[in-house]
Amino acid sequence: MTLIRLVQASLLLLLSLPALAQQPNRYGCGIDGGPGYRAPDGHCVSAAELSRICGNPPETACIHETGGAAPPACSGCGCKGGPGWRKPNGQCAGWRDLKRACGDPPGAPCSFEGH
């Protein structure tokens, strides 16, 4: 009897995967039923800790988020903290090899993307 239930649960999961893949990329505090506030340290505040962490009114110390689409993905040189220059070979230059690859000050043969 247990094997039948396991097979049924697996089949149900497999059938629901396409529906899960079509859901929009949701982002932000409050999308799963919480109060929708982000604390100063960056975490989403639960309803139980709202007044203790955010104060009254909550906007005094926390940011209200409405839960929209996720922020765009990082793309281009420099978006993750690098110097923002692309080397002639197409790779992003790191801080360590910036002078060697792009000169001092940086310029040709590299191109600046500056994200």
54-95 pLDDT, tens digit per residue, is 999 888 888 888 656 555 677 889 888 889 999 999 999 999
Q: Residue 27's pLDDT is what?
A: 64
Q: Which residues contact 55 (CB under 8 A, 6 or more apart)?
A: 61, 62
Q: Residue 19's pLDDT is what?
A: 47
Strand partners, 69: 26
Structure tokens that stand for 88 in this block: 């002639």
Give the number of C-alpha atoms closer than 13 A to the C-alpha of residue 34, restricted to the C-beta side: 22
Please say whether the beta carbons of 106 and 112 come within 8 A.
yes
Answer positive or negative: Cα dihedral of 68, 74, 75, 77: positive
Would you call 93 exposed, middle or buried from its count of C-beta atoms within 10 A (0-12, 13-18, 19+)? Answer: buried
Q: Residue 20's pLDDT is what?
A: 45
Residue type, 42: G
